Amino acid sequence: MEPDPYADFHSAETGGPFQDCISCGLDLDHDSDLPYLVAKSYRRGECIFEYAICDDCRSNMAQEFSSESRQALAHFFEKHVNVRERSIFLAFGDEPALWIEKCASCETPRNQLESYSLGGVLLGRNMIYDPYPLCLCGKCEEKIQGLLSQKTRGIWDDFVDTHFDGPPADVEDLPVRGRPIPF
């Protein structure tokens, strides 16, 4: 049996694909033709934070972010992630491993990173490419967090507080003092 090329985007808790949107509970595998984002944060090789959110819920949350934060995020990716070059280079492969083998911003290999996050957009059991999937290292995540307004950080913190029982045991291990990157 061949290994699952999407295993990096499965739940670390269950070992299988994510089943439900963290926000609305939509069945991501059976009930929807709606794409969804999987976001996972790692520290020293261990997954410390993960979720899946449908595109509608993700879009609704993103609309709540301040316009300054949305512009800052777009500018960061435009300046630090060569999306066009990345798309051309990776267009010939449909294996997510190529897309996440290094930080999309600074290009440090993932196997050399102490902390990083992965983001991927799926439709059922299939990956949607360009600009995702991607990997961002902890240092680049800190740069991104520094660009976000207080309003946006508050919205993100509310999302985390609402959908997670409490801080993980190793909250100091989360990137940027408890704030995973809002993909």
Q: What is the pLDDT of residue 9?
A: 95
Distance of alpha carbon 35 from alpha carbon 26, whole angstroms: 11
Amino acid letter for position 41:
S
pLDDT per 10-residue tile (average), the chain, 183 residues: 84 94 90 88 93 94 92 91 75 78 95 95 86 92 92 88 67 48 62
Q: What is the pLDDT of residue 166?
A: 59
Q: What is the pLDDT of residue 5?
A: 83
What's the CA angle centered on 168, arms 51 and 97, to 5 degrees?
Answer: 40
Q: What is the pLDDT of residue 160?
A: 85
Q: What is the pLDDT of residue 167?
A: 52
Q: What is the pLDDT of residue 173?
A: 45
pTM: 0.87
SS (H, E, C) the chain: CCCCCCHHHCCCCCCCCCCECCCCCCECCCCCCCCEEEEEEEECCEEEEEEEEEHHHHHHHHHHCCHHHHHHHHHHHHHHCCHHHHHHHHCCCCCHHHHCCECCCCCCEHHHCCEEEEEEEEECCEEECCCCCEEEEHHHHHHHHHHCCHHHHHHHHHHHHHHCCCCCCCHHHCHHHHCCCCC
Q: What is the pLDDT of residue 157?
A: 86
